[in-house]
Amino acid sequence: MKTVLITGASGGIGTRLRALLKGVYPELRLSDMTKPANLAAGENFVQADLSNMAEVEKAVTGVDGIVHLGGFSVEGPWETILNANIIGCYNLFEAAHRKGVKRVVFASSNHAVGFYPRQRKIGTDEPVRPDSRYGISKAFGEAVGAFYAFKHGMRVTNIRIGNFGDMPLDKRRLSIWLKPEDLVQLVRIGLDHPDLKYEIFYGGSDNDRSWWDNETAFRYGYKPTGRSEAMLAEALAGQAKLPADPIGDWFQGGPFCSAEYDGDKNPSSY
């Protein structure tokens, strides 16, 4: 990889990731609707709205690999999710195919499988159970990636990101916390591993309480260094400040599940 494009480069994960990838690849191309602050040597910016195919094609031209973080990063109205995360995701993969991009790492989300109960450990072969319109868009992105991988030979990695940050902020995030440096490991596997064709990884660190079987990522050499249990006291202190949420506390997706929920009042039947 000589030139790597990061979409959504002005967002929280994009800003952190570009700093951690500095010097790993000769050139980072950054794309977003707003220009990131403090462009560094070896970085260049191409403004692009993901819903505009012409702008996306311009952004992907001449790159070897893409880390696709762009889109709407939380739950939102359908029209917002549709344009940013569904049309935008299709445009990204289609433009990458047209321009001969070899690899795409797609930032999927734990919310693609948020309606699994916390008592159940799941692998990457379980059917999706999105907990929101946002989760639907991430399940869609994984499907689009599969299409371009198996139809057109693109190498695609989907990372179901848990909670990215310096520490887990509550009890739920003890199970899904992702240390920034561990995300870098997963991204680099997706961009560089010679044997990878199409895979789904869970974006979680070495969490004792994890709900996920991440064997697929381990098979490609993933060795997470973050341990959420080391910050147990801080996470439980954060949990104590949260209101009771019987539905959200049952499912892996937390408040994304309880928002707008009018399903079975006995979630243990799921």
Indicate which residue of 134, 220, 261, 270 is catalytic: 134
The rounded radius of gyration (Å) of the Cα atoms in the chain is 18
With CA atoms as reference, report the closest residue to 104 among 148, 61, 50. Answer: 148
Q: What's the CA gap between 10 and 78, in Å, rounded?
A: 23
Based on the number of CB atoms within 10 Å of its own CB, is 153 exposed (0-12), middle (13-18) or buried (19 or more)?
exposed
> Is 134 an annotated catalytic residue?
yes
> 104 and 145 in contact (C-beta within 8 Å)?
yes
Residue 90: CB partners within 8 Å, gap ≥ 6?
144
One-letter amino acid for residue 244 of the chain: A
Cα 7 → chain centroid: 12
Beta-strand runs (E) in the chain: 3-7, 27-32, 43-47, 65-68, 103-109, 155-161, 163-164, 177-178, 198-203
Catalytic residues: 134
